[in-house]
Amino acid sequence: MTAPQAPPIVLTTQALVAGYERDLPIIRGIDLSVMRGEFLTVLGPNGAGKSTLVKAIAGLVPVHGGAIRLDGQDITASPAHTRVRQGLAFVPQTENIFTTLSIQENLQLAAAILPKDKRQARIAALYDMFPDLSARPRRRAGQLSGGQRQMLAVARALVVKPSILILDEPSAGLSPKVVGDVFARLRAINRSGVTTVLVEQNVKAALGVAGRALVLVEGRVAHEGPAATLGDDPVVAELYLGARHSREAMAT
Amino acid sequence: MSPQILVDGLISGAMIGLGAIGVTLTYSILRFANFAHGEFISWGAYFAFAVSGLLGYLSGGLAAPIGPFSFGWSLPIAAVASVALTAGLALLVDAVLFRPLRSRRGAVIILVMASFGAALALRNLLEFIFTSRPDYYTTNLQIAMRLGGGMRATPDQLLCLGVAAVLALAVHLLLTRTAIGRSMRAVSENPQLSGIVGIDIRSVVRMVWILGAGLAAVAGIMTGLIVQIRPEMGLDLLLPLFAAAILGGIGSVPGAMIAGLIVGLAEALTVQVFGAEWRAAVAFVILVAILLLRPQGLFGRPE
């Protein structure tokens, strides 16, 4: 007898309408499917609704229409804290760690939903994965550098072994070298089997690590395709991904 | 100047500190100044008064004084019941009033004004049930013991000091060493991120009410034991409670306790130097001074 296989689609949204005000939706009917193990990046100009889309999926922005399914289960009406238990991990763009708590306490908070006998082992595994954090676990998280904070936020999200990891602009405010480190780590996490969705403004870096890309415009999916070719499309690049990226794509 | 002000100040400061812990937790986690908190002190005192009176009526032996203290076993048993009943009252007020207002995501000022309304309703209900006449847990007289250095205190007063110290330490350990304490600190810092991490904010809110109201009940019982029980006892403590919570730094439990002792000592000093009529002004002066000079309080961090 073989073990039951997990469904190939981890996350779907169907005709999703979401926004802070019911009569002013920012997301206007998005259909999205994320396959198990894939690395999807969501791109688009400012105000396209990228962050609102992932916040709605995480349960932080009201959904006014459509449905969100995680591993086949309808989570549209679930509060944010139960979506974590169902396997959805979200790393917000800013304020994504508890700065007044220590590194260890940040990880312990996330581990609280695991069975008691598995918490310490899981935190230890995360310290192995992120050695920078293990040096001084009692250090207050607010004292960490920008890159270390992002790593702590990602580690915190991975504590629960999520079905899907969603990150909202992890490169924001980081130096190019640190962005490179963060993205290399994200690629390694994805290659370890964690389905990853990345919202990014840094188009070049995002297309460099992702397998598939979506371009949002005015709350709708305007383009979709393999990351390797989407950036080479001069029309898409010029219109939606920024002229600088367009020139770089053309040059290469 | 009599050294007795040290004892008097510490005893009244311990009661202020216990009440201020509830104020500081509500303020930092629910993000509004709950002016009904003083009423939990009054209701806690009256719950214990009613239960201990009933126990004394049912069994006279329970009212007989324990050792050097002025009260019998009926009061400690009633105190446990009072903590549970006051916590239940706080949860009821939250369910009926504050939770619906929070779910509408209204302005903080609406919650603050609602707490004023709740305070008025709770105080008048208490007066309606028990009248405004002062009551006492016991009429037994106690002789104050010499503590040295010209200071005296009754066994009841020393017990109250000890209980306050133990409770403040217990709450501090709960917040710093347990999972629910970590969750409370997390929600205090960032409620939205707390949800993303998997914390059920509703259970943290319930814990805040239970803890704050339970400590308020103990503060009320101590005040009733050492002074007297009146429906306005919570209202009289309200300004010192807020002065201590802000002086200690919003969200800091040790800060609230230490600041409570500072406010209590300042009140005792003022009574001796300027007269009892100036006592109520001290908390106000401390409140204004700390808001002007160090708004984050002694143990808080600047925003």
Q: Residue A216 forms beta bridges with which residues?
A: A221
Average pLDDT, chain A: 89
How many structural domains comprise chain B? Answer: 1
Output the pLDDT for position A252: 42
For A74-89, how does the pLDDT look when each residue is reduced to its tens digit (9 = 90+)? 999 999 999 999 999 9
Domain A9-251 has CATH 3.40.50.12160: no
Torsion of CA B187, B191, B196, B198, to 10 degrees: 30
Q: Which residue has the higher pLDDT, A251 or A67?
A: A67
- Distances, alpha carbon A64 to alpha carbons A10, A33, B164, B268, in Å: 22, 19, 50, 59
What is the Cα–Cα distance from B71 to B221, expressed in whole angstroms?
A: 12
Residue B104 in domain: yes
The neighbour count for residue A135, using CB atoms within 10 Å, is 9
End-to-end CA distance of chain B, in Å?
40
Instruction: Assign A211 a pLDDT band (cuts: 50, 70, 90).
Output: very high
Instruction: Assign A3 a pLDDT band (cuts: 50, 70, 90).
Output: low
* R_g of chain A computed on alpha carbons: 18
Please judge whether A101 and B200 are an interchain contact, meaning their C-beta atoms are less than 8 angstroms apart.
Answer: no
B60 DSSP 8-state letter: G
- Residue A100: is it exposed, middle or buried by C-beta count within 10 angstroms (0-12/13-18/19+)? middle
CATH, residue B221: 1.10.3470
The neighbour count for residue B124, using CB atoms within 10 Å, is 11
Please judge whether B189 and A98 are an interchain contact, meaning their C-beta atoms are less than 8 angstroms apart.
Answer: yes
Q: What is the 3-state secondary structure (H, E, C) of chain A?
A: CCCCCCCCEEEEEEEEEECCECCECCEEEEEEEEECCCEEEEECCCCCCHHHHHHHHHCCCCEEEEEEEECCEECCCCCHHHHHHCCEEEECCCCCCCCCCEHHHHHHHHHCCCCHHHHHHHHHHHHHHCHHHHCCCCCEHHHCCHHHHHHHHHHHHHCCCCCEEEEECCCCCCCHHHHHHHHHHHHHHHHCCCEEEEECCCHHHHHHHCCEEEEEECCEEEEEEEHHHHCCCHHHHHHHCCHHHHHHHHHC
For A188-204, how does the pLDDT look when each residue is reduced to its tens digit (9 = 90+)? 999 999 999 999 988 88
Output the pLDDT for position B10: 95
Output the pLDDT for position A5: 66
Please judge whether A112 and B186 are an interchain contact, meaning their C-beta atoms are less than 8 angstroms apart.
Answer: no
What is the Cα–Cα distance from A140 to A128, expressed in whole angstroms?
A: 19
Instruction: Assign A34 a pLDDT band (cuts: 50, 70, 90).
Output: very high
Place of tokens 């001796």: B272
For A97-154, how does the pLDDT look when each residue is reduced to its tens digit (9 = 90+)? 999 999 999 999 999 999 999 999 999 999 999 998 998 899 999 999 999 999 999 9
Please judge whether B186 and A101 are an interchain contact, meaning their C-beta atoms are less than 8 angstroms apart.
Answer: yes
Report the residue of A88, A105, A109, A120 to disrupt the B interface, i.e. the one with the largest count of B CBs within 10 Å: A109
What is the Cα–Cα distance from A43 to A45, expressed in whole angstroms?
A: 7
A60 touches chain B (CB under 8 A): yes
B62 DSSP 8-state letter: G
Please judge whether B190 and A95 are an interchain contact, meaning their C-beta atoms are less than 8 angstroms apart.
Answer: yes
pLDDT at A235 over 70: no
For A153-192, how does the pLDDT look when each residue is reduced to its tens digit (9 = 90+)? 999 999 999 999 999 999 888 888 888 889 999 999 999 9
Q: Residue A224 forms beta bridges with which residues?
A: A214
Output the pLDDT for position A240: 61
Residue B299 in domain: no
What is the Cα–Cα distance from B98 to A214, expressed in whole angstroms?
A: 43
Instruction: Assign B110 a pLDDT band (cuts: 50, 70, 90).
Output: very high
B229 DSSP 8-state letter: B
Output the pLDDT for position A1: 44
Task: Identify the top-confidence range among B35-49, B63-77, B142-156.
Answer: B35-49
User: Shortest CA distance to B268 belongs to which of B248, B283, B255?
Assistant: B283
Which amino acid appears at position B43 of this protein? W
CA angle B253-B284-B292, nearest 5°? 80
Our CA-based measurement puts residue B217 at a distance from the nearest CA of chain A, in whole angstroms, of 30
Our CA-based measurement puts residue B168 at a distance from the nearest CA of chain A, in whole angstroms, of 21
Q: Residue A40 forms beta bridges with which residues?
A: A197, A212
Please judge whether B201 and A110 are an interchain contact, meaning their C-beta atoms are less than 8 angstroms apart.
Answer: no
Please judge whether A109 and B186 are an interchain contact, meaning their C-beta atoms are less than 8 angstroms apart.
Answer: yes
Closest partner CB to B192 (pick from A60, A99, A108) = A60
Our CA-based measurement puts residue B184 at a distance from the nearest CA of chain A, in whole angstroms, of 11
Residue B178 phi/psi, 5-degree rounding, is -120, 165
For B153-198, how does the pLDDT look when each residue is reduced to its tens digit (9 = 90+)? 999 999 999 999 999 999 999 999 999 999 999 999 999 999 999 9
- Contact status, residue B196 vs residue B236, Cβ threshold 8 Å: no
Tell me which chain B residues have a C-beta less than 8 angstroms from the C-beta of A95.
190, 192-193
Residue B271 in domain: yes
Which amino acid appears at position B290 of this protein? I
Please judge whether B193 and A96 are an interchain contact, meaning their C-beta atoms are less than 8 angstroms apart.
Answer: yes
Output the pLDDT for position A230: 81
Q: Which residue has the higher pLDDT, B53 or A177?
A: B53
Residue B202 in domain: yes
For B205-217, how does the pLDDT look when each residue is reduced to its tens digit (9 = 90+)? 999 999 999 999 9
pLDDT at A232 over 90: no
Which amino acid appears at position A207 of this protein? L
The three-class DSSP label of residue B71 is coil
What is the Cα–Cα distance from A75 to A56, expressed in whole angstroms?
A: 11
Instruction: Assign A251 a pLDDT band (cuts: 50, 70, 90).
Output: very low
- When pLDDT is averaged across residues A13-19 and rounded to a whole number, the result is 96
Strands A63-70 and A27-35: unpaired
Domain, as residue range, for B82: 4-293
Q: Residue A182 forms beta bridges with which residues?
A: none
